[in-house]
Structure 1
Amino acid sequence: MDQSMEQSVVAGVEGRAGTILMNRPRALNALDTGMIAGFAEAIARFRDDPAVALVIVEGAGGRAFCAGGDVRAIRDAALRGDAAEIEAFFTSEYAVNRAIAEFPKPWISLIDGVCMGGGIGVSVHGSHRVVTEHALLAMPETAIALFPDVGTSYSLPRLPGGAGGAMGKFLALTGARLRGPQAVEAGLATHYVPRERLPALRAALLEGDASVVDRFIQAVPPDGLESQRAAIERCFAGETIGDILAALEAEGTDWAREQTAILRRMSPTSMVVSLGLLRRGAALDLPGCLEMELRLTRAVTRHPDFAEGVRAVLVDKDNAPRWTPPTIEEIDPAAIRAMFGA
């Protein structure tokens, strides 16, 4: 059957489990409005069904759990000046993120392949984020001049570790791509299960007992993030982008120079917005964070950097964005405060 004729979210009940399959494999299961509606319907259905003891979430196609939201469609709407379409998309997506966080039963995401942006949003607020060695998790929004949304302004500042939420800032600003084991080390994922064991884990979960996950987990193999943690906490604890760049310069390592180069490629406006978002998010509950993010989408999607960032990364794919303003040093703090409505 042609993919366009298939359901983009396939929800059902198997045994004692509600199952949700994101089914746009050619689009790497990127979330569009139809998929978000499918999630909302499944959540409402499974929440009150006494036959459903837990929910299993997966992505079709073997390459991705969910590569994010359909930001090209959002860019098209922004270029048309269709603020209502943008508002509807983010409002419905964030409502699903909150509903997952408030879901009264285990919500178990089996993440095998790419999981970014909106894919983090449909997993990170649940009880179990199971990753394989083929999982790849990231919040890459600063490269397209958005910001870490889908409730991650709540999650990222609360990742394990000290130094002023340094790990969350590192992930948010650099868009670092974490392999499955690294995602467990960072706290974005909760359990590591090799890909070959996923089918057996899924079959066991159909009995309705989430604790069986513990029978399948393996120790996280050394994968590099722990060895970087001390440097991340030294360099990304700063309150401003300037503080962080100065700390990276003082660090003086190849790793630090690489992070500096990455930050210099990102949208300056997006980075300052993202840092402010995480600082505010650290003091809010999840509903407050989602409300703040929704307000911010209205300003950020109108900013010229958003259309330009999506063009450079996802449309023309030349990876040569022209930012406005072009450097961090030229950012007007008052303009950033205005984007937050302050």
Structure 2
Amino acid sequence: MTEKVLFDRLDTASGHQVGVITLNAERSLNALDKGMLDSLYERLNEWQEDSKIVCIFLQAAGEKAFCAGGDVRSLSQSVIDGDTSAPAQFFEKEYRLDYLIHTYRKPVICWGNGVIMGGGFGLMAGADFRVVTDTSVMAMPEITIGLYPDVGGSWILNRLPAKIGLFMALTGCRLNPADAMYLGLANRFIDHAFRKKVLESLQAADWSEDHYQVASDVVQYYADNSAGWLPYSKIREHRDLIARMMGKSNLSAIIADLKALETEDSWLEQARNIALTGSALSAVIAYEQLKRSRYDSLKEVFQSELVLSINCVLKGDLQEGVRALLVDKDNQPQWTYSVIEEVTQEKVADMFAPPPGESQPTHCLISDVSR
């Protein structure tokens, strides 16, 4: 059976090595399952302590996607089959891995070619050099499957300007490379045709000095040679409109504005339609989570997300969203609530409460690691 994650060590001219990680589940758009999460976490920990490894290069097989998210279909099926511990096991593995990348003590280059969504967003967000290419499409479309922007999304989206993070959470809007660069979700744009050259240059570099500077010099060289090819940013174009809509005093007013929006812009129209047809429960908890976590540390955000994500699977809309979008593919989800006003405060409190028997399910989630 083909390995779903490939690991390679490339020798450099200075006697060091670049650790190359390739997500290799092309048929599923490199969706992350528990085995992949374990492999990634174990090897990254090993390479962090290996003095020969000076840099990590994270990429994916195929041209369509870096990573389209977590394998929520398998997760949902596990719960249907009676394994109610599966959500805690899966999300704990995923968030620990994401946190490790955020706090990694060696430079990490993430080559985000193609689709970058959900769990792929989580892998990329912590990298030092977050590369988008001419084919990159980034989004947090969890509202369409009954989840919310997790994988540290509460921390990341809260730090975007003009409440664009809230807009992303409610609309699942698709970002092109220019959008990702404008928002700082990516920090380098490089044409995908340069990928092999980037790896060759990393091998040819002298890593005897500051490793972050060496990695930066290599990546920046190819970014400079790609500068003229960046597309037009839809987020920049609609920033003021987004800020006005998302700046309303409550979620009902925001949804009302989205409903009343008249536009001939297909990007805006798609974003609005997702907000109005996605899970009302997801919209409410995404809005609430962003409020609650506004001043939280990254570690605190991952801990609160773990509780919320477990509950989304066990008593939220995720199973129905997965059925409608990924299993039966009828695109007719029967959400628990048809509109956000139906979601009670008691239900919200229940979604944020630790699952029964796990009063502190996050006690071993994340160790205190700092660079």
1:83-126 alpha-carbon deviations (Å, 9 max, x no partner) = 21221111111110111111011111001111111111111011
1:313 Cα deviation after fit: 0.8
Which of 305, 320, 330 lines up with 1:318 in the alignment?
Answer: 330
Q: 1:239 to 1:12 in 2, by over 3 A?
A: farther
Question: Take 1:254 and 1:221, find their aligned partners in 2: how far apart are those partners?
Answer: 20
Do 1:234 and 1:247's aligned partners in 2 also have CA atoms closer than 8 Å? no
TM-score (norm 2): 0.85
Do 2:132 and 2:189's aligned partners in 1 also have CA atoms closer than 8 Å? yes
Question: Take 1:244 and 1:62, find their aligned partners in 2: how far apart are those partners?
Answer: 37
Q: Which residue matches 1:48?
A: 49
Q: Which residue matches 1:213?
A: 219
Do 2:144 and 2:274's aligned partners in 1 also have CA atoms closer than 8 Å? no
Matched, 1:128 2:129: yes
Determine helix, strand or coil for the equivalent of 1:133.
coil
Q: Which residue matches 1:6?
A: 2
Which of 230, 236, 248 lines up with 1:226 in the alignment?
Answer: 236
Question: Take 1:174 and 1:249, find their aligned partners in 2: how far apart are those partners?
Answer: 12
Q: Which residue matches 1:29?
A: 30
1:4-55 alpha-carbon deviations (Å, 9 max, x no partner) = x121111121123111110111111110111001111111111111111110
User: Superposed, which structure 2 residues align to 1:83-102 within 5 Å?
Assistant: 83-102=84-103
Percent of paired sites with the same residue: 36
Matched, 1:235 2:245: yes
Q: What letter is aligned with 1:240?
A: N
1:250-283 alpha-carbon deviations (Å, 9 max, x no partner) = 7654456654432110100001001111122221
Question: Take 1:214 and 1:225, find their aligned partners in 2: how far apart are those partners?
Answer: 24
Question: Take 2:294 and 2:256, find their aligned partners in 1: how far apart are those partners?
Answer: 23
Q: 1:300 to 1:49 in 2, by over 3 A?
A: same
Of the structure 1 ranges 139-148 and 323-332, higher mean CA displacement relative to structure 2 is found in 323-332
Question: Take 2:349 and 2:249, find their aligned partners in 1: how far apart are those partners?
Answer: 15
User: Superposed, which structure 2 residues align to 1:249-260 within 5 Å?
Assistant: 252-255=262-265, 259-260=271-272
Do 1:17 and 1:55's aligned partners in 2 also have CA atoms closer than 8 Å? yes
1:131 Cα deviation after fit: 0.6
Question: Take 1:60 and 1:258, find their aligned partners in 2: how far apart are those partners?
Answer: 29
Q: Which residue matches 2:282?
A: 270
Q: 1:333 to 1:260 in 2, by over 3 A?
A: farther
User: Superposed, which structure 2 residues align to 1:191-210 within 5 Å?
Assistant: 191-206=188-203, 207=205, 208=207, 209-210=214-215
Q: Which residue matches 1:300?
A: 312
User: Superposed, which structure 2 residues align to 1:53-132 within 5 Å?
Assistant: 53-132=54-133
Q: What letter is aligned with 2:246?
A: F
Determine helix, strand or coil for the equivalent of 2:58.
strand
Do 2:281 and 2:316's aligned partners in 1 also have CA atoms closer than 8 Å? no
Question: Take 2:131 and 2:57, find their aligned partners in 1: how far apart are those partners?
Answer: 10
Q: What letter is aligned with 2:180?
A: A
Determine helix, strand or coil for the equivalent of 2:104.
coil
Question: Take 2:120 and 2:28, find their aligned partners in 1: how far apart are those partners?
Answer: 13
User: Superposed, which structure 2 residues align to 1:11-22 within 5 Å?
Assistant: 11-15=7-11, 16-22=17-23
Q: Which runs of 4+ in 1 moved over 3 A?
A: 218-221, 246-260
Determine helix, strand or coil for the equivalent of 1:20.
strand
1:214-252 alpha-carbon deviations (Å, 9 max, x no partner) = 111133332322111111111123353212123446765
Q: Which residue matches 1:184?
A: 181
Q: Which residue matches 1:175?
A: 172
User: Structure 2: any 5+ residue segments left out of the alignment?
Assistant: 12-16, 208-213, 355-371
Q: Which residue matches 1:286?
A: 298
Question: Take 2:24 and 2:87, find their aligned partners in 1: how far apart are those partners?
Answer: 23
RMSD: 1.8
Question: Take 1:42 and 1:304, find their aligned partners in 2: how far apart are those partners?
Answer: 34
Q: 1:54 to 1:257 in 2, by over 3 A?
A: closer
Do 1:249 and 1:257's aligned partners in 2 also have CA atoms closer than 8 Å? no
TM-score (norm 1): 0.92
